[in-house]
Amino acid sequence: MSVKHALLALLEQQPMYGYQLRAEFEQRTGTTWPLNVGQVYTTLTRLERDGLAAAQGEDAEGHVIYRITDAGRTEVATWFTTPVARTQPPRDELAIKLALAVTVPGVDVGTVIQQQRGATMKALQDYTRLKRQAAGATAAEPSDLAWSLVLDSLVFAAEAEIRWLDHCEARLRRAAVELDRRGPRPTDDASAAPAPSTEGRAR
C-alpha cells in the first residue's frame, strides 16, 4: 500500500491540507485502512522533499495547504498505469498458523480451520452488509463507487480465504482417510482390528 501515491492522487484533484487529505482518503476507501494524521503529515513532508508536492500557503485557520507539482503529476500517472507487483507474497499469518498446526502434534487442525472460517464468514457478512447499505448510490457519486469497489476487494479476498480454508479442510480429511486405509500405525497396538475389515468400513 502506497500512502504516498494515494495522497498524491488526491492532491491532483485539488490542493488540500493534511486533515482534509485524511478525511478524503477515508471517504473513498471506507475505514479499511485507517490513517493517522501524523502519518499524513510525515508523508506530505517527504513529498515536498522529493519535489512532488509543494506547500502553497495557509488558509484562514492556519492549515498549510499543499498542491501537486508537475513531477508529482507524472508520478501519479506512472503509478496508475503500473500493475501492483506480486513478486513477494504478503506475509500471511493465517497460512503460517495452519502450516504449523498441521505439523505440530496435538493441535486439532479441524477446529482451527472451523473457527477461522467462522470469523472470516462473519467479516464477509459485515462487508456485504456495508455494501448493501451503500447500494442505493452506486453510480450516483464516483466517491461512493470507489468505496463500493474497495468493499468488493475485501469481499473477494475474504471469499478466497474461505475457499482456501474449505480446500484445506477437504485435503486434511482426505489425508486422514488415506492414513486410516493404510491400516494401523506401526506404533498402535497389534491387536487392533484386522486391516481388511477396516478397509471395508473406510470405504
* CA atoms within a 13 Å half-sphere pointing along the CA-CB vector of 167: 7
Minimum distance, C-beta of residue 125 to other proteins, in the bound complex (Å) = 5
Provide the Cα torsion 82, 85, 90, 95; round to 10°. Answer: 120
Backbone region of residue 106 per phi and psi (left: phi > 0; alpha: psi in -120 to 50; beta: other values): left
Is residue 123 close enough to count as binding other proteins by CB under 8 A? yes
Is residue 147 close enough to count as binding other proteins by CB under 8 A? yes
- Residue 54 forms beta bridges with which residues? 67
- Residue 66 forms beta bridges with which residues? 16, 55
End-to-end CA distance of the chain: 49
By CB under 8 A, which span of 37-45, 79-87, 163-171, 177-185 interacts with other proteins? 163-171
Is residue 31 close enough to count as binding other proteins by CB under 8 A? yes
Is residue 39 close enough to count as binding other proteins by CB under 8 A? no
Is residue 33 close enough to count as binding other proteins by CB under 8 A? no
Minimum distance, C-beta of residue 84 to other proteins, in the bound complex (Å) = 21
E strand map for the chain: 53-58, 64-68
Q: Which of 55, 64, 94, 159 binds other proteins (CB under 8 A)?
A: 159
Cell 482456501, located at residue: 164
Q: Which of 12, 26, 48, 180 binds other proteins (CB under 8 A)?
A: 26
By CB under 8 A, which span of 41-49, 82-90, 117-125, 184-192 interacts with other proteins? 117-125
Q: Give, in order, the Cα–Cα distances in Å from 80 to each of 70, 76, 85, 135, 182.
A: 16, 6, 13, 26, 55
35 or 55: CB nearest other proteins: 35
Is residue 132 close enough to count as binding other proteins by CB under 8 A? yes
Grid cell listed for 110: 479441524
Is residue 163 close enough to count as binding other proteins by CB under 8 A? yes
Residues 51-110 that bind other proteins (CB under 8 A): none
- Residue 64 forms beta bridges with which residues? 58
Grid cell listed for 19: 486533515
Chain positions contacting other proteins, by CB under 8 A: 23, 26-27, 30-32, 114, 117-118, 120-130, 132-133, 135, 147, 155-156, 158-159, 162-163, 166, 170
